Amino acid sequence: MTQLPIEHTVTFQLSHPAGSAAESEFLAAAAELASIPNVHNFQIRRQTSPKNPHRFGISMWFETAEHFAAYCDHPAHVEFVQERWLKEVTDFQESDFEPLA
């Protein structure tokens, strides 16, 4: 795999009960973010370690800082954050990584 310059990751805890329809609907809405231009290797994952209280994680890659900035400002991302994320996520940790070399 070619290393892309920016990996955007977020782990999070939802307000919804595990396995609920509301949880599934949130994850389905989050999956739509993969269709935003210049998003690569989009994945939603379930947490398996008891060391982390967050149940889910999302990761994606961007080829340039400009692509990442465009994603952050994209209307679909902004709407998802305003209409879903801020209302349904109770805790999260966001990290953005670039290769060392």
Q: What is the pLDDT of residues 51-83, one digit of tens each?
A: 999 999 999 999 999 999 999 999 999 999 999
Per-residue confidence (pLDDT) for residue 1, from 0 to 100: 47
Mean pLDDT rounded to a whole number for the chain? 95
What is the pLDDT, as a whole number, of residue 101?
73
pLDDT at 74: 98
pLDDT at 88 over 80: yes
Q: What does the pLDDT read at residue 3? A: 61
- pLDDT given at position 53: 93
Question: Which of 10, 93, 9, 14 lies closest to 55, judged by CA?
Answer: 14
- Cα distance between residue 98 and residue 101, in whole Å: 9
pTM of the model: 0.91
